Amino acid sequence: MCGIAGIVSKNYFNIIPKLIKMLKNLEYRGYDSCGFAFFDCNSKSITVMKAKGTIDNFLANSRIQEKNSEIGIAHTRWATHGVVNDINAHPHVDCHGTIAVVHNGIIDNYLELREELELKGHVFRSETDTEVIPHLLEHYYRESRNILDALKKALKRLKGTYAVAILTSYDSEKIFFARNGQPLIIGIGDNEFYVASDIPAFLEWTKKALVLRDGDIGFVSRSELHIENYMDPNLKPPELFEVPWNIDQARKGNFPFFMLKEIYEQPDAIQRTIISVSHKASEVAADLLNANFLYIVGAGSSYYSSLYAQYLYAKWGLKSMAVIASEFEDLVGGAIEPNDVILAVSQSGETFDTIQAVKIAKSKGARIISLVNNMGSTLRMISDKSIVMGAGPEIGVAATKTFTTQIASFIVILKKVLELQGIDYERQIQSLQTVPRVLSENMEYFNNRALFIANWIKVKTNAFYLGRGLGQPIALEGALKLKEIAYIHSESYPAGESKHGPIALVEEGFPVVVIVLEDKNHSAVIANIQEMKCRGGKIISLIPAGDTEAQELSDLTIEIPRLDPEVAPMLYVVPLQLLAYHTAVCKGLDPDKPRNLAKSVTVK
């Protein structure tokens, strides 16, 4: 949801090329429009350049690359308030163009503030909520002649969430910043200070970072980093930490798209996750075992992996319920008790719905454990305990490697819980440890089959994804990939449930993707395939290697190596990711920038 970036050079270097690079590194957060504000070394004033569309589009049509500046801010937008056009693009400025603001978040009371400011004579240009911020700053600056003071006063007027970076000709050697409920990270390089929504923005130049907390406010200048907390003046500044990611993880390398790269990275990502989660899982095992009730909460793919955990944990007597984060309050909010445990699952750790669910559960005294991929995330900060996966940065908007690493994490956590009960889970863990190798060995086969099937499915407008038991969350995830990346309306049902209504849609050539696992549900899934097939459904099944019964019934198959039944389903999702990827590419779509989406959804 919107990316913000800022750089100040410590050495009088031109920052424009790096600022563009930073913004491109954040483009996965939104690509409706982009914009820059910088102090122009030639005109000695703040220049704002912005436009609807992607950064590449902007670069092709602007002369920003000819500019020279030592300090600047930038923004890439996922629209919430105001249509997608040039005027609504950030940065937004005050009446005189002397204060430029980039913002991620939503100002809930902007209409009332706008009305108040307009009565005072301020002239607004855009339809955005953000524009009240530069005008409020202009108003309070007139009183105190100090931007930091004006910022504190302005922030007290805002209701909602924000991460902001501000450039002003009143104090043109500083980038001011503040955060409340939206991520903001400071990067400390040898030659620059960076302000960014996420670490990959500056990973190429520094691994030294500080994660700001709610209420943190301050500035970076050529020689200084200043942070104070306006909500709690006694709070010490956040600690510096070393980012454990490397820059190659945040680059496309030889792959045409991040999504494909991240699919292929899964063997390594799972390997790293098994190791990193093993260390932390012991610390949370007792919490899970002794919980009055365990709620596993997530959104999108993180919800589907949570559902996998619910199915898996139930097999071993560990009661839990996977809950869609945005439904948490209505579905279970009233039932939360102090001894309950919330396992909050989120790649980004910034998903608004998940954070809200956690806040509700916290207010009722529940214990919060989070499973995140982003170590500098809000969710991690507000949890009692947190487990960080080792997937590395995920840039593609579609979750891929973080879905399989979430499942790997749940398996490792289960092992630690069962260990406390003296229950042996070694066979499954050994099977999990073979996943990286097995996946690597089969990746090219999966890729070729997926490409072949993509060429058939690309002209279809609907598809079913069916599975039972542990196959059901995999089917849900497969359907989500195809709809979000390839824009094919794909729905997933528990295979048994499909005959209670959805089967009415099946006609000659209707694509039905079926997850056939080697488990107790095998014969039931075979029966469901037959029901679809005799109504004209075209059966694309993912089957255990050598399963001739399923093969003979199917029109197209992908064979999946046989591993332990609790582990094998995570292999099945990989060809489904590749199927969505190739279908999108065959249709001429950009799988890294699906329409209307953004990587992390930090709004309601």
**Residue with token string 């410590």:** 10
Q: Interface residues with ligand M6R (CB under 6 A)?
A: 299-302, 346-348, 351, 354, 397-399, 480, 484, 597, 600-601
- Angstrom distance (rounded) from CA 425 to CA 313: 12
Residue nearest to ligand M6R (CB): 300
Q: Which is nearer to ligand M6R, 347 or 431 (CB)?
A: 347
- Angstrom distance (rounded) from CA 23 to CA 58: 12
- Angstrom distance (rounded) from CA 268 to CA 211: 27
Enclosing H/E stretch for 92: strand 92-93
Both tokens of residue 52? Answer: 């609807």
b/e map 34-48, b = 16+ CB within 10 Å = bbbbbbbeeeeebbb
Q: Going along 181-314, which residue ranges are E strands?
A: 185-188, 192-196, 208-211, 216-221, 225-229, 241-242, 294-298
- Provide, rounded to whole angstroms, the least separation between the CB of residue 602 and ligand M6R: 9
Q: Which is nearer to ligand M6R, 154 or 485 (CB)?
A: 485
Annotated catalytic, 41? Answer: no
Which of the residues 2, 24, 401, 416 is marked catalytic? 2
- Provide, rounded to whole angstroms, the least separation between the CB of residue 480 and ligand M6R: 6
Q: Which is nearer to ligand M6R, 76 or 406 (CB)?
A: 406
- Provide, rounded to whole angstroms, the least separation between the CB of residue 346 and ligand M6R: 3
- Angstrom distance (rounded) from CA 507 to CA 1: 39
- Provide, rounded to whole angstroms, the least separation between the CB of residue 398 and ligand M6R: 4
Helix (H, G, I), strand (E, B) or coil at 115: helix
Q: What angle do CA 460, 463, 468 make, to 5 degrees?
A: 160
Whether the Cβ atoms of residue 134 and residue 140 lie closer than 8 Å to each other: no
- Provide, rounded to whole angstroms, the least separation between the CB of residue 166 and ligand M6R: 27
Q: Which is nearer to ligand M6R, 223 or 596 (CB)?
A: 596
Annotated catalytic, 599? Answer: yes
- Provide, rounded to whole angstroms, the least separation between the CB of residue 171 and ligand M6R: 35
Q: Which is nearer to ligand M6R, 351 or 405 (CB)?
A: 351
- Angstrom distance (rounded) from CA 82 to CA 105: 14
Q: Which is nearer to ligand M6R, 263 or 312 (CB)?
A: 263
Which of the residues 18, 401, 416, 599 is marked catalytic? 599
Q: Are strands 538-544 and 511-515 parallel, antiparallel or unpaired?
A: parallel
Q: Give the largest Cα separation in the chain, rounded.
A: 80
Residues with a catalytic annotation lie at 2, 599
